[in-house]
Structure 1
């Protein structure tokens, strides 16, 4: 049930009958305060000004023509021209009954599109760190949400596995003469240690830097020795990353990895094609593409290099091939990238080149869903005391320990609950929710005390609301088997909770369109607070009137289901006991 969409269709017809030109769009919004009704028709004042008539006169005309009596109990004008719509409680009850008995809460399946979501993209030969958290959890929440709506979602973990860092590593390992026995025992910690040493050597030793570049070219040209070592390095990194994904309840699997190396066989023919189309030219031995909007400080055109004069490729080259593959082979309708703001210029250049080359169909939507940084309590980039980037494994371990100690402080009966499992759910949920509940475009401060709090807009608060609803349902299993079909909403607490339960589809639609999981978090928090009020003021199992008791049970069942589904879309597990 999408009430906003329903009202928009009704008011759109009213606009036509009121002779309002089609250029003026209907703007229906949820009311911010209960005294302003349930929904508002906004924009009437601006339309009236452009049509050179009085806003109140136009609003009156709309009210007189609108046919909404079966839905609305009242529709009113507020000076100078706002229109407030109050919904009928019995209509809300009817809609609750409908979504109660339907799959996916009555959310209709969309015309499926092929949507590629590019997210996480950890560095190879290094441990995942806190800088990968936002891309990973936001991208995964979007993949889950778009899948719920019925889209063909292709999850892509695009890793940089074909560049200079591997030339450095292969050269360094060749230099220190590691044997095959080492590669059998290699792990991410050893690998990162060798990477740091290789990077230092690369920066300080020109001879080593030249050798590393030569190994990049050898690797990209299929050299057997280089390829053999490269595969072992990649395997060790992927194995460790997958452990992090499993702990974070991320849906990415190994078969979602599409690294730069995947497109290596496409690149030679693609460069040849770009030259034939006069987009790429040779400049000082390198292959370059000049773009009108890419200029230096003197205002002259700057070239985007796609092949160095030594024959090696850059990550821009791979990204062009990547987007060509996604459009031509995967037949994408929409491609969403979850990377931070620093990648924006690069992506725009890649998209510009791909569009000019005809590698992307005109209808394909290309979207860069940027996100802000994670900061410490002093508003600085979140790092360890030594100034290093926080490793995700250490962050998750710390969260688990804090949640575990918190649970112990509450004197739980150890026999009635698996404390370690509960600590895992609470800690991971708290970390993910703290990130997802913030507008992705903004920075946010990482604060354990706030995210593990059982009060306010946090995962523990919403998880607790779910467990409280679930405990009542456990005691009413027999009653649930014979619920009456009729629903009656009497109190304001019931009506408001029911109305927000109906807004689940509206919420999901916004998230899917804009890539804004924080909207879903705000919705779940509102449901949890409304449920708390409903629980406090409305007796459920002890109510003598059967229709009232069964109506409230239905609201309770829907509340639990929507909280569980909403948290699932965020990648947060639920627990039956807290």
Structure 2
């Protein structure tokens, strides 16, 4: 089945055609269609077009109205003020369009696939080996996962990449310590949990660090080990692999708590590009993109200067022969462009790294790796703040462990579910508590535009009121309850029926789902989808209060209102799934 043309798109097409007929010289005239409080839509584009054509805006508006056929989709169109158009849609068109979405055989609610799908690499969820995940790792994971789900849903080929921190000088220290204390990471029980894996690593890291700081001979041995690691010494690599494997047990347990799928083949850390570093540097130097400066290989930019006014370079290779992050990031771009054939690369990375990525992307452009065929951009995100508006820390000033945060969210949510639950077992309360708690954390993150900071306030997140995932989950569960109570009466669309104002508002908004998903996916903007879903749940709440469903006046009206309930629930379910949030059938 072809995708369903939304009412917005249909009205836009008809107005644009009437405008072009009235002003033949203005091809592709945009009527600037907006949702309106006065009617269903308002077209504001005529004033600017009339000015351009040196015509009277009201006369032009009247001419456009004369060229519009009413009756099937457009019920009424009138000129308002200096040349605005107020447009009302027929009730029949609203119901018919929703019925087309409901019967989409692919179950996509009429959401179209993108016209020109490409291959997008999304780089997100990048924890560090042998280190605990903290609240700062939350946003990259949650935002990245939603972007991946939305892109895949509209038909883009998505390659997921988790660029974990698994290389660098601290591994010399850790490997040497493990070499001298060989049984530190041995497991008696094969089924080690993520928590145990992390506490093993944490204990080992602290012991190695203490040894490194207090014993000069150990420090020397540890530094030699870094050289061995970079040279690919088999024994050193085997010890390093132990750290990576232990860390992955922990990572997977945290991502499972977050209800996120992270696949092992998608984890390509810094170490994955080691074999390319030398060639990357050679290509940059031979092409003149990078130059030697004080023994280091650097790329300079006219517009990037330090406080002293001197140019600040991107250091690709240090004067001691070691490689910086830039060499790894540039090698990753080469891999993503030439091996993965990416048309777009999206980096879901903290805004504080914006300057680094600006320099890396510009270097890759100068080298010819990023060009018209492949674009790279950073989806930069802001900081997680505490209730006090300062970066989120524990009372002791420590960074908050992500696991502790998620556990507390689930505890709070379970209390809310228990309070409301009427016929749920303890097991069901625990399951729903996890779905509500994790959903609350994800939604709070996603409902804020990525580039803004947001306050982490669990009380607000698990509230049943306001813009929270719990509010949406309860709306969905309430609809499921009504559909169960309806028994043998099925949802059926009745286009012949007149709609009450609350039914019309709900129907018009439900019809905008496809264009919202397309826009959110194209702009990597999950917050646009959360805003849409919150409004959908709010309009449903008004509909529920004003329009009795099972006690409606006629059997046809009962069926039609059940149909509105059903399409709303399916839209909420699909929209929340794209955000990585569960919608329990009962709450």
Q: With the length of structure 1 as denominator, give the TM-score of the two structures.
A: 0.91
Pair 1:525 & 2:516 matched: no
Cα distance, 1:182–1:466 mapped onto 2, change above 3 Å: closer
Tell me, in whole angstroms, the C-alpha distance in 2 between the residues paired with 1:503 and 1:521.
13
Residue-by-residue CA offset, 1:316-342 (whole Å, 9 max, x unaligned) = 101001111111111112221111211
Cα distance, 1:200–1:97 mapped onto 2, change above 3 Å: same
Tell me, in whole angstroms, the C-alpha distance in 2 between the residues paired with 1:207 and 1:27.
76
Check the 8 A contact 2:298/2:314 in 1, yes or no. Answer: yes
Number of the residue aligned with 1:113: 118
Cα distance, 1:571–1:288 mapped onto 2, change above 3 Å: same
Tell me, in whole angstroms, the C-alpha distance in 2 between the residues paired with 1:215 and 1:19.
76
Q: 1:130 aligns with which of 120, 135, 148?
A: 135
Check the 8 A contact 1:487/1:547 in 2, yes or no. Answer: no
Tell me, in whole angstroms, the C-alpha distance in 2 between the residues paired with 1:484 and 1:308.
68
Cα distance, 1:289–1:411 mapped onto 2, change above 3 Å: closer
Tell me, in whole angstroms, the C-alpha distance in 1 between the residues paired with 2:184 and 2:312.
48
Check the 8 A contact 2:11/2:74 in 1, yes or no. Answer: no
Q: 1:364 aligns with which of 371, 374, 381?
A: 374
Tell me, in whole angstroms, the C-alpha distance in 1 between the residues paired with 2:292 and 2:62.
68
Check the 8 A contact 1:126/1:191 in 2, yes or no. Answer: yes
Check the 8 A contact 2:19/2:29 in 1, yes or no. Answer: no
Cα distance, 1:492–1:543 mapped onto 2, change above 3 Å: same
Check the 8 A contact 2:370/2:376 in 1, yes or no. Answer: no
SS of the residue corresponding to residue 581 of structure 2 reads: coil
Check the 8 A contact 1:143/1:153 in 2, yes or no. Answer: yes
Pair 1:237 & 2:243 matched: no
Residue-by-residue CA offset, 1:44-79 (whole Å, 9 max, x unaligned) = 444444555554444444434445653222223333
Cα distance, 1:495–1:196 mapped onto 2, change above 3 Å: same
Compute the displacement of 1:243 (Å). Answer: 0.9
Number of the residue aligned with 1:488: 497
Compute the displacement of 1:208 (Å). Answer: 6.9
1:69-218 pair list within 5 angstroms: 70-102=72-104, 103-110=107-114, 111-173=116-178, 177-180=180-183, 182-184=185-187, 187-196=197-206, 214-218=224-228
Tell me, in whole angstroms, the C-alpha distance in 2 between the residues paired with 1:484 and 1:536.
21
Check the 8 A contact 2:298/2:315 in 1, yes or no. Answer: yes
SS of the residue corresponding to residue 288 of structure 1 reads: strand
SS of the residue corresponding to residue 293 of structure 1 reads: coil
Compute the displacement of 1:536 (Å). Answer: 2.5
Number of the residue aligned with 2:191: none
Compute the displacement of 1:263 (Å). Answer: 1.3
Compute the displacement of 1:416 (Å). Answer: 8.5
Tell me, in whole angstroms, the C-alpha distance in 2 between the residues paired with 1:197 and 1:21.
77
Check the 8 A contact 1:267/1:317 in 2, yes or no. Answer: yes
Check the 8 A contact 1:374/1:445 in 2, yes or no. Answer: yes
Compute the displacement of 1:563 (Å). Answer: 1.1
Cα distance, 1:89–1:316 mapped onto 2, change above 3 Å: same
Cα distance, 1:167–1:290 mapped onto 2, change above 3 Å: farther
For structure 1, which segment, 566-575 or 247-256, has the greater mean C-alpha deviation from structure 2 after superposition?
A: 247-256
Cα distance, 1:343–1:10 mapped onto 2, change above 3 Å: farther
SS of the residue corresponding to residue 249 of structure 1 reads: coil
SS of the residue corresponding to residue 377 of structure 2 reads: strand
Tell me, in whole angstroms, the C-alpha distance in 2 between the residues paired with 1:218 and 1:520.
49
Tell me, in whole angstroms, the C-alpha distance in 1 between the residues paired with 2:380 and 2:489.
49
Number of the residue aligned with 2:571: 562
Number of the residue aligned with 2:484: 474
Tell me, in whole angstroms, the C-alpha distance in 2 between the residues paired with 1:326 and 1:9.
39
Alignment gaps of 5+ in structure 1: none
Tell me, in whole angstroms, the C-alpha distance in 2 between the residues paired with 1:300 and 1:25.
50
Check the 8 A contact 1:97/1:487 in 2, yes or no. Answer: no
Tell me, in whole angstroms, the C-alpha distance in 1 between the residues paired with 2:357 and 2:170.
21
Cα distance, 1:409–1:546 mapped onto 2, change above 3 Å: closer
Tell me, in whole angstroms, the C-alpha distance in 1 between the residues paired with 2:226 and 2:59.
72
SS of the residue corresponding to residue 419 of structure 1 reads: helix
Number of the residue aligned with 1:13: 17
Tell me, in whole angstroms, the C-alpha distance in 1 between the residues paired with 2:78 and 2:161.
49
Cα distance, 1:60–1:496 mapped onto 2, change above 3 Å: same
Q: How many pairs are equivalent?
A: 573
Check the 8 A contact 1:374/1:446 in 2, yes or no. Answer: yes
For structure 1, which segment, 219-228 or 498-507, has the greater mean C-alpha deviation from structure 2 after superposition?
A: 219-228
Q: With the length of structure 2 as denominator, give the TM-score of the two structures.
A: 0.90
Pair 1:330 & 2:334 matched: no
Number of the residue aligned with 1:305: 315
Number of the residue aligned with 1:39: 41
SS of the residue corresponding to residue 107 of structure 1 reads: coil
Number of the residue aligned with 2:7: 3
Cα distance, 1:22–1:303 mapped onto 2, change above 3 Å: farther
Residue-by-residue CA offset, 1:164-209 (whole Å, 9 max, x unaligned) = 33234334545xx211454547822232344356567778988877
Number of the residue aligned with 1:26: 30
Pair 1:515 & 2:524 matched: yes
Tell me, in whole angstroms, the C-alpha distance in 1 between the residues paired with 2:70 and 2:220.
75
Compute the displacement of 1:286 (Å). Answer: 2.4
Cα distance, 1:477–1:141 mapped onto 2, change above 3 Å: farther
For structure 1, which segment, 39-48 or 356-365, has the greater mean C-alpha deviation from structure 2 after superposition?
A: 39-48
Compute the displacement of 1:216 (Å). Answer: 3.3
1:222-371 pair list within 5 angstroms: 222-371=232-381
Check the 8 A contact 1:135/1:338 in 2, yes or no. Answer: yes
Check the 8 A contact 2:47/2:84 in 1, yes or no. Answer: yes
Pair 1:63 & 2:65 matched: yes
Q: 1:382 aligns with which of 392, 407, 410?
A: 392
